[in-house]
Structure 1
Amino acid sequence: MGKNVREIALEALLSVYKNQSYSNLLVNNTIQKNDLSSSDSGLLTEIIYGTIQRDQLLDFYLEPFIKNQKKLEEWVYILIKLSLYQLHFLDRVPAHAVLNEAVEIAKKRGHKGIASLVNGVLRNIQRNGLRSIDGIKDPIEKLSIETNHPEWLIETWVEEFGVVETRKMCEENILPPYQTARVNLMKASREEVIKMLEDEGIEVEEGNLSPFAIEIQKGNVAYTNAFKEGYLSIQDESSMLVAQALGVSEGEHILDTCAAPGGKSTHIAELLNGTGSVTALDLHKHKVKLIQEQATRLGLENIETKALDARKAPEEFEGRLFDRVLVDAPCSGLGVIRRKPDILLRKNASDVSNLQRVQKSILDEASKLVKPGGTLVYSTCTVGHDENIDVVNSFLNEHNDYELDQSLIEHLPSKLKESKTVQKGFIQLLPHYFGTDGFFIARLRKKV
């Protein structure tokens, strides 16, 4: 008999907690490897994401019931944790099913003693109920445990965005993620692609922000013919704004300095409508291959790829300048916590300052490759000032041949024009504004 969903979820969670596997990649691989039905895939995804997203809260709830967690083998503790997640947060799963399966898995992986310990803890929780989080008096500590964000991060965000925005952002980050996709308008209109997907049994709506976006209500577009035949790419709406912010015109030559896995490069190539060129760089050869695969699937012939450190680009392209250059910089990823909740299991404050140095040096080097009067766009999928506006301001202080480009707003969807999120030349999207990833985009102009 094959493994059941909870057993598969336990193995996946062990891989996240012990081996620092990435939850989003792991979920997809696990579903494919075990050939799960759509209802089993849904439950598996819910258990894995939910357990990680409530990591600190589950620890807080379990503490009174487990006298010495350090003595427990890690898999036993995670089994209790994922069972508690289901008992407390999943209404549709009957309690007896959760308990029975937890005990069976404990017997199978361990022995009778472990099974009775797991059974004892879970029944004890059922009898006595869980302690209230309201007992925590410190508001930062309380929000940290409640929403699974480290205290240092909450303190930073409170300083930068205020208490109200920080709470909203933290709460948004523990909602289940949903899939969005970008329509390849070179091949079909948004309405035509929606119809194709509906014919394949996928429930779809138009996106919230971007004119290219569709939001998937039910099903997985990655397995559809429409996807295989290059009618769409899986991409968050905030990320779709980056190619628009560049404001490309047909026939132009564009450099994308940190391009893998290729979502923005392919979008730029689509906007060029088969003209001009996109030169897509990435540090790692295997990642460059991903960009090429996407370009082939989408039928794009105006993308050339190269494995290259963006900081070495000026010597590689000596004497060549581009109409527009994109620096979608490596960052802490704190805008995509909803899609990658395991980010918070391994990030600390010093990671951010190390990244800032890399971001600045890539921006410095990339700026040398922009034509006079050309455009340089800097973007990240994170939300804190130090990786975003601080990097841009520091760059502008050292490069008086560049300025923030006030025309950014003209290149963005109308919904953003009405909101207060676009500043003069840059935009900071927080996840709760439009239900997108957290994202930063600055548009800079090289003076003539």
Structure 2
Amino acid sequence: MTPAARLAAVAELIQAIEETPRRPADATANDFFRARRFIGGGDRRVVADTLWAIIRQRIRLDWHLRHAGAAPSARLLLAAHLALAEGRTLPAIEEVFAGGRFALEPLDAKERRTVAALTGKPLRDPAMPEDVALNIPGWALPLFRERFGAALEREAAAMERAAPLDLRANLLRTTRDAAAIALAGEGVATAPMPFSPWGLRAEGRRPVTGTEAFKAGLIEVQDEGSQLIALLTDAQPGMRVADYCAGAAGKTLAIAAVMQNKGRITACDTSATRLEGAVKRLRRAGVDNAERHLLAPGDKWTKRRAGSFDRVLVDAPCTGSGTWRRNPDARLRTQASDLAELTQLQSEILGRAAELVRPGGRLVYATCSLFSAENEGQMDRFLERHPDFEPLPLATLWPALRPGAEAPGEGPWLATSPARHGTDGFFAAVLVRRPA
């Protein structure tokens, strides 16, 4: 593909994403590339990198376009990115919009005036209000300030950067050191993670799913923060464990590995599609102590198994605000109304999942959110309603899990963030059910 053709593909992809604003952008992008298999790997990377760069800066690009008197469109978002982020001149941008078979149609007079007004300006303009300058939706700014205080700007900057490629060594098939050696043999350099005992951070953005190490089940792609949630369950061989919001079973895989395939882990979810997608991953990882259960309306499964699990993990549906560096379009899709709906849903899920925990067993509540309403606030409300549960502070639990390692959180709960810990923003609370 020519450079102009690549950028034409970017504009086409932006338009497709704009037409389905509530759908995750990566799903739309996957469909786009699947339908255009003629786009080679190198061209695909350029198109994808440009797309995500635009999405990451969308709040600022929209501000610039509004101040230039224009409404955002796929063409203008691309042109604004070229002018503001890449520093291209108007003539250079017009070369992209040259017309012809594989290039975008020429800028019309209004588009040209808009682009001319943007050239030479900084992407982060001093005139921007604080939320735009920090690249945070206005409704969410007070919530981030509540979470980070004086560290807000540093954390906001970290959330703009692309997330690293984090891997988890599958202890059922290998060790972390052996997995690193296997990856190095395929040209993928890694380094051990600071917090997760199973984690490896890859250098660069190699497509590791094509490596023999991945195909053989030696590794899984999983953010370090997510790995720590599995670690905090402290599941032991022989236990009964429920992963109550399992999704595609990423944490189920990690927990099964530390259980050494002994005992039983049940992956539960309300989506049959997600649970079905977990089958291939479980098989590749060599997990044979896991079963799946679809949580359906009117289902009696939770009531029949009340008080029978040693560990219950609730990785609750949430705003995902801690993953915005990994899913930058989520900061555009998520609204204040979503937060209100999700906190109610989280409360309901917690109440049902708590019934599964045996006396003396543990309930682990986790989100990939940075908002206190979904985290500390949720714990305060749950403990008020459930006096039979009490917190197991991180400071008490962590030394046995990671001797000599710094705990990722200062209070009673685990709380990670992109700037401070280099992970996605995760929260986790461990609660113990008092013996009857």
Same fold (TM over 0.5): yes
Query: Is the Cα–Cα contact under 8 Å of residues 103 and 118 in structure 1 kept in the other structure?
Result: no
From the superposition, tell whether residues 255 and 373 of structure 1 become closer, same or farther in structure 2 (CA, over 3 Å): same
Query: Is the Cα–Cα contact under 8 Å of residues 22 and 342 in structure 1 kept in the other structure?
Result: yes
Measure the CA separation in 2 of the matches of 1:345 and 1:107.
30
More helix by share: 1
Q: Would you say how many aligned residue pairs link Structure 1 and Structure 2?
A: 429
From the superposition, tell whether residues 145 and 312 of structure 1 become closer, same or farther in structure 2 (CA, over 3 Å): same
Query: Is the Cα–Cα contact under 8 Å of residues 398 and 407 in structure 2 kept in the other structure?
Result: no
For 1:160-239, list aligned pairs within 5 A: 160-162=147-149, 164-218=150-204, 219-239=206-226
Query: Is the Cα–Cα contact under 8 Å of residues 230 and 297 in structure 1 kept in the other structure?
Result: yes
Alpha-carbon offset, residue 161 of structure 1: 3.2
Between 1:17-26 and 1:28-37, the stretch displaced more is 28-37
Residue 408 in structure 1 maps to residue 411 in structure 2? no
Residue 88 in structure 1 maps to residue 90 in structure 2? no
Q: Over the residues paired in the alignment, what is the CA RMSD in angstroms? A: 2.8
Measure the CA separation in 2 of the matches of 1:194 and 1:105.
48
1:23 to 15, 25, 28: 25
User: What is the aligned partner in structure 1 of residue 59 from structure 2?
Assistant: 56
Measure the CA separation in 1 of the matches of 2:421 and 2:369.
15
Post-superposition Cα deviations, 1:178-216, rounded to whole Å, max 9, x if no partner, equal 211111022112222222222223232222321211112
Query: Is the Cα–Cα contact under 8 Å of residues 390 and 434 in structure 2 kept in the other structure?
Result: yes
For 1:70-89, list aligned pairs within 5 A: 77-89=73-85
TM-score normalised by structure 1 residue count: 0.87
Measure the CA separation in 2 of the matches of 1:166 and 1:310.
41
Measure the CA separation in 2 of the matches of 1:165 and 1:104.
47
Measure the CA separation in 2 of the matches of 1:311 and 1:161.
41
User: Aligned with 1:10: secondary structure?
Assistant: helix
Measure the CA separation in 1 of the matches of 2:31 and 2:378.
36
User: Aligned with 1:374: secondary structure?
Assistant: strand
What is the letter of the counterpart of residue 43 of structure 2? D
Residue 381 in structure 1 maps to residue 383 in structure 2? no
User: Aligned with 1:181: secondary structure?
Assistant: strand
User: What is the aligned partner in structure 1 of residue 115 from structure 2?
Assistant: 122
For 1:213-292, list aligned pairs within 5 A: 213-218=199-204, 219-292=206-279
From the superposition, tell whether residues 225 and 212 of structure 1 become closer, same or farther in structure 2 (CA, over 3 Å): same
Measure the CA separation in 1 of the matches of 2:171 and 2:265.
17
Alpha-carbon offset, residue 165 of structure 1: 2.2
Between 1:292-301 and 1:190-199, the stretch displaced more is 190-199
From the superposition, tell whether residues 224 and 131 of structure 1 become closer, same or farther in structure 2 (CA, over 3 Å): closer
Residue 323 in structure 1 maps to residue 289 in structure 2? no
From the superposition, tell whether residues 120 and 374 of structure 1 become closer, same or farther in structure 2 (CA, over 3 Å): same
% identity of equivalent residues: 25
What is the letter of the counterpart of residue 167 of structure 1? E
Measure the CA separation in 1 of the matches of 2:40 and 2:160.
25
From the superposition, tell whether residues 29 and 182 of structure 1 become closer, same or farther in structure 2 (CA, over 3 Å): farther
Residue 45 in structure 1 maps to residue 32 in structure 2? no
Between 1:149-158 and 1:404-413, the stretch displaced more is 404-413
